[in-house]
Structure 1
């Protein structure tokens, strides 16, 4: 899936060769194989909203695989959250395998190999979004991938309600409202997943990771403040600047680089938001803590390879 303007998806296949094309174009590149002889039919329907997608898959038995070779081709990393609507599914990732019955939810990462198998006719609803939108560390979220989150699980209950509701509402609203609803759903998912990650059994450095997450949350809440800097962040959390920098060392980046990255990602997201299409590009930068328009344009181009105005025009 590429960053595009909003559009509806409605594709049907009556043979497996066509199905291979459809599933790769609708999600990320995938290998697809039939699991038995005989005829095949399948369809995908839903909406892509810039960098988000809500897609229902209704198909006969088959298997899809995200292989190391396909992952090595690069591209945006996504999380996919699937709600099994009918039939039974099997997901394998990170050395775990889960059986999914109707009402079950599973989370998986497109930057690590996975296999999804369906041995009977099925329906599933998938919410797919860039990993950067929820700000969770891959290692942290890996404790939840390829696990059956059933109806008796409080996390699953919240996810099911969220995904099912947005799947119902999106076909009835316009692009701007649809995008905002999808973003709100992803934000809610991020909160739910972060809560589950940090409340589950952890090893060794849990307290440090929890403190780092609190600091990242503080940064998110103050991105619009152009004076946001390591010294003030450290003081707000009653730690020294040295301790703050040590907390960020395992992430492979610095505090300042993290702030800059999150500001640019926030601006990137707002430039794609149809509800903000009338807002000047310079104001978008200022809302993310980059009030100097020339500097904003320069660092944005350095990060993404194109100017903020070019992104808005393309969208």
Structure 2
């Protein structure tokens, strides 16, 4: 490949593979094209995945699509990894869940920067179309000295520079990159420049908050993680348990660009997701799981889950294979009542 000539596009698909081999082969393909990742699904015989890869100067542009599954990096995958790198990820069609420093629910167009040196979990609950940009560490540091300030944070696709980057990345189709009339380094530099602008834009969201505010925010988060199951939990109750005034609590959260209501809803969602994904709770209906997580009722739980994840609690549970047959029947009846 030369600077502005035709680059080779690599293509993979599980379509022509025997069903029992698809997961293992796909995991090998991911390791070869990007980094070691585990791949899990409750329906291995229905698993399908496709990928195209092209080099764009220092970057690697990867487009993926396929059936729902979970993937990520744990201790084993980290141990088998080589050189550290960053990955800029964006869904093109559906909401998905990422656990990487933070628990994030990302809508199409939202971006997240992932560090290959850290644990990561990705939950794709519908047919997905995905963009993953491999970014060398040293190259990105030329644009953003403090890269860590972006890692694991949601970059909103509707923010000023987030929208600009999302719109640009959508155009980076592998075949278009391969035949670009300008040097690939120029295409890559547009990504770096936009990320630098995003880092500056987002620097006002938290780094300007005071250390005391961030410390108190973390104490509130810890308290909510323990008490989110309490129905009717109020800011007053949390402030009282922390030995501070309600005004101090709200001021600290506002300094971190957050609100008590959002923090509480996030805590309840995380609690509910953990139960939905655990076989320990497989015989519990989704309505009961919602109530145990602190939601007012099953309908509220379903609405919040659909808004944030793009699927209902029952659909997520069936995808993860943690719904027993008798519980599935009760869930179906419960769903009919909600409607």
Structures share a fold, TM > 0.5? yes
Give the equivalent residue in structure 2 for 1:27: 34
Answering whether residue 187 of structure 2 is matched by residue 187 of structure 1, we say no
User: Per the alignment, do residues 46 and 137 of structure 1 end up closer, same or farther by CA in structure 2, a change over 3 Å counting?
Assistant: closer
Give the equivalent residue in structure 1 for 2:138: 132
User: Per the alignment, do residues 76 and 136 of structure 1 end up closer, same or farther by CA in structure 2, a change over 3 Å counting?
Assistant: same
Give the equivalent residue in structure 2 for 1:53: 60
Asked whether the 8 Å contact 2:109–2:163 carries over to 1, the reply is no
Task: State the alpha-carbon separation in 2 of the partners of residues 138 and 109 from structure 1.
Answer: 14
CA RMSD of aligned residues (A): 2.9
Larger radius of gyration: 2
Question: What is the CA deviation profile of residues 78-100 of structure 1, one whole-angstrom value per residue up to 9, with x for unaligned ones?
Answer: 11111211123211111x11112
Give the equivalent residue in structure 1 for 2:10: 9
Asked whether the 8 Å contact 2:64–2:130 carries over to 1, the reply is yes
Give the equivalent residue in structure 1 for 2:169: 163
Answering whether residue 118 of structure 2 is matched by residue 117 of structure 1, we say no
User: Per the alignment, do residues 54 and 37 of structure 1 end up closer, same or farther by CA in structure 2, a change over 3 Å counting?
Assistant: closer
- What is the CA distance between 1:53 and its match in structure 2? 0.6
2:47 aligned counterpart, secondary structure: coil
- What is the CA distance between 1:60 and its match in structure 2? 0.5
Ranked by relative contact order (alpha carbons within 8 Å, sequence separation 6 or more), the top structure is 2
Q: What does 1:99-248 align with in structure 2 at a 5 Å threshold?
A: 99-135=105-141, 140-167=146-173, 169-173=176-180, 177=182, 179-196=184-201, 198-202=203-207
- What is the CA distance between 1:30 and its match in structure 2? 1.2
Q: What does 1:265-284 align with in structure 2 at a 5 Å threshold?
A: none
User: Per the alignment, do residues 37 and 16 of structure 1 end up closer, same or farther by CA in structure 2, a change over 3 Å counting?
Assistant: closer
TM-score when normalising by structure 1: 0.55
Structure 1: give runs of 5+ residues left out of the alignment.
Answer: 206-315
User: Per the alignment, do residues 140 and 51 of structure 1 end up closer, same or farther by CA in structure 2, a change over 3 Å counting?
Assistant: closer
- What is the CA distance between 1:61 and its match in structure 2? 0.8
Asked whether the 8 Å contact 1:89–1:119 carries over to 2, the reply is yes
1:7 aligned counterpart, secondary structure: coil
State the aligned residue count: 198
Give the equivalent residue in structure 2 for 1:80: 87
Task: State the alpha-carbon separation in 1 of the partners of residues 104 and 54 from structure 2.
Answer: 27
